[in-house]
């Protein structure tokens, strides 16, 4: 749990005009601290406190399936959201099946976006010592594929199914462990390989690589470029990602195996969301300080410049299309005042 408070000296150093007391006390829920989503919210919290807008108490390491529903029900003020989750909530599907379609649609209509980012890129990895050859070697093995419940697990399973045709339990064995135990699970050899969300570079895999060299496997080109692969890249909250392979792109002691020097994977796209009932001026001020503070936020960790912060093109924000959410009216005003162009389909 993080409570963001900025002392006078730090505020002066940031060069931001402040009031004596923050104007609002807010709660937030996000990923583990090292991940881009958490760094975005933590950066927002520091800037908002310094500007006298709000003090934000942030719970990190949360299961975002729950966080999205909490925001929709007004139980938390700001939540990190892979955009597949509001889509599923709007249908009462997947992890929200117990909510039902009618109630799910009602809850999803309560949500609005302040800003977007790329949470991660999903990929297969294994220790070099395992002599694991890649996506074609999954059959008969044990794969660590995320926590017991949530969007990450669903995406990892779907990517294996797309690449191999196999479902968990009918071709390979899946292991689910909460994010707090992820590094220990990777290093203790419980699984032969791992299909997990990763940053570029990735702090979790970098920790694990201290115990031995790791190989990250690019998604099979033939599958990636097929009609099903292309369609999957346009699924709610997703994006197909290609990047030239570079030395240690995922971290020290981590190499990339690719057919042609290009890394291929599927990204999780999302953003920080609020309840639509949030005061428009507060949503405006929060988004405004975020946009103005983008250079500071992107400097927080090595992976933040690769997190697609400050983007408004729907090709990489995940907005519009099947995503049921739109920007909060206050966020629209902040983005447009800063000179950004938002697509009409993403406006309320």
Residue span(s) of the chain under CATH 3.40.190.10 come to 2-118+270-346, 120-268
pLDDT band (50, 70, 90) for residue 9: very low
Cα distance between residue 69 and residue 106, in whole Å: 11
| 118 pLDDT higher than 90 | yes
Question: Cα dist. 302→42, 116, 133, 231 in Å?
Answer: 15, 18, 29, 31
What are the tens digits of pLDDT across the range 138-148? Answer: 999 999 999 88
| 17 pLDDT higher than 50 | no
Give mean pLDDT, residues 121-129: 96
| Other beta carbons less than 10 A from residue 258's beta carbon | 17
Q: Report whether 120 contacts 198 (CB < 8 A).
A: yes
Question: Cα dist. 59→26, 53, 144, 198 in Å?
Answer: 11, 19, 25, 21
Q: Supply the mean pLDDT for the chain.
A: 91
SS3 content of the chain, % helix, strand, coil (to 5): 40, 25, 40
Query: Which pLDDT does position 109 carry in this prediction?
Result: 97
Helices (H), the chain: 8-14, 36-50, 64-72, 84-91, 101-108, 151-164, 182-187, 203-209, 221-224, 227-232, 280-292, 294-298, 314-317, 329-337
Give mean pLDDT, residues 21-33: 86
Question: Cα dist. 297→47, 165, 277 in Å?
Answer: 9, 40, 26
What are the tens digits of pLDDT across the range 157-168? Answer: 999 999 999 999
Going 310 to 265 to 85 to 152, the CA torsion angle's sign is negative
Residue indicated by tokens 């006390």? 25
| 4 pLDDT higher than 50 | no
What are the tens digits of pLDDT across the range 40-88? Answer: 999 999 999 999 999 999 999 898 999 999 999 999 999 999 999 999 9
| 2 pLDDT higher than 50 | no
| DSSP annotation of 172 | B
What are the tens digits of pLDDT across the range 190-249? Answer: 999 999 999 999 989 999 999 999 999 999 999 999 999 999 998 888 999 999 999 989
| 13 pLDDT higher than 50 | no
Rg (CA), the chain: 20
Query: Which pLDDT does position 150 carry in this prediction?
Result: 75
| 91 pLDDT higher than 60 | yes
Q: Report whether 308 contacts 116 (CB < 8 A).
A: yes
Give mean pLDDT, residues 314-318: 88
Would you say domain 2-118+270-346 falls under CATH 3.30.70.100? Answer: no
pLDDT band (50, 70, 90) for residue 90: very high
Q: What is the DSSP string of 98-153?
A: TT-HHHHHHHHTTEEEEEEEEEEEEEEEEEGGGT---GGG-TTSEEE-S-SSSHHH
Query: Which pLDDT does position 22 carry in this prediction?
Result: 55
Would you say domain 120-268 falls under CATH 1.10.490.10? Answer: no
Contacts of 55 (CB under 8 A, 6+ apart): 3, 4, 5, 22, 24, 25, 26, 45, 48, 49
Query: Which pLDDT does position 316 carry in this prediction?
Result: 87
| 35 pLDDT higher than 90 | no
| 127 pLDDT higher than 90 | yes
| 175 pLDDT higher than 80 | yes
Give mean pLDDT, residues 113-126: 96
Indicate the length of the chain as a whole number: 348
Cα distance between residue 348 and residue 346, in whole Å: 7
Give mean pLDDT, residues 96-124: 96
| 299 pLDDT higher than 90 | yes
pLDDT band (50, 70, 90) for residue 267: very high
Going 30 to 31 to 33 to 34, the CA torsion angle's sign is negative
| Other beta carbons less than 10 A from residue 213's beta carbon | 12
| DSSP annotation of 305 | G
Residue indicated by tokens 């989503």? 37
For 223, phi and psi rounded to 5 degrees? -70, -45
In three-state secondary structure terms, 34 is coil
Contacts of 3 (CB under 8 A, 6+ apart): 55, 57, 58
Asked if the peptide bond before residue 201 counts as cis, ω within 30 degrees of 0, the response is: yes
């Amino acid at each position: 749990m993080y409570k963001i408070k900025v002392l006078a000296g730090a505020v002066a150093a940031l060069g931001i005009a402040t009031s004596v007391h923050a104007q609002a006390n807010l709660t937030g829920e996000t990923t583990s601290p090292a991940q881009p989503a958490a760094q975005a919210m933590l950066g927002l919290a520091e800037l908002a406190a310094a500007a006298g807008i709000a003090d934000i108490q942030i719970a990190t390491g949360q299961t975002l399936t729950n966080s999205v529903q909490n925001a929709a029900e007004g139980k938390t003020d700001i939540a990190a959201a892979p955009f597949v989750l509001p889509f599923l909530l709007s249908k009462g599907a997947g992890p929200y099946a117990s909510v039902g379609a009618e109630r799910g649609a009602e809850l999803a209509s309560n949500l609005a976006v302040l800003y977007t980012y790329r949470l991660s890129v999903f990929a297969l990895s294994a220790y070099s010592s395992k002599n694991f050859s890649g996506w074609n070697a999954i059959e008969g093995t044990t794969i660590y594929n995320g926590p017991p419940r949530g969007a990450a697990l669903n995406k990892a399973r779907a990517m294996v199914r797309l690449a191999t045709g196999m479902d968990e339990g009918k071709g390979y064995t899946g292991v689910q462990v909460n994010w707090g135990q992820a590094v220990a699970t990777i290093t203790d050899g419980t699984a032969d390989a791992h299909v997990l969300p990763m940053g570029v570079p990735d702090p979790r895999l970098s920790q694990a690589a201290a115990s031995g060299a790791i190989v990250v496997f690019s998604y099979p080109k033939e599958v990636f470029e097929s009609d099903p692969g292309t369609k999957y890249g346009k699924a709610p909250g997703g994006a197909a990602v290609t990047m030239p392979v570079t030395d240690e792109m995922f971290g020290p002691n981590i190499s990339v195996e690719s057919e042609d020097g290009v890394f291929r994977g599927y990204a999780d796209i999302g953003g920080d969301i609020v309840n639509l009932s949030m005061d428009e001026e507060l949503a405006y001020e929060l988004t405004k300080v975020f946009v103005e503070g983008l250079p500071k936020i992107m400097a927080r960790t090595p992976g933040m410049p690769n997190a697609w912060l400050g983007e408004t093109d729907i090709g990489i924000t995940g907005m519009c299309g099947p995503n049921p959410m739109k920007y909060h009216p206050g966020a629209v005003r902040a983005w447009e005042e800063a000179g950004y162009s938002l697509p009409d389909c993403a406006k309320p």
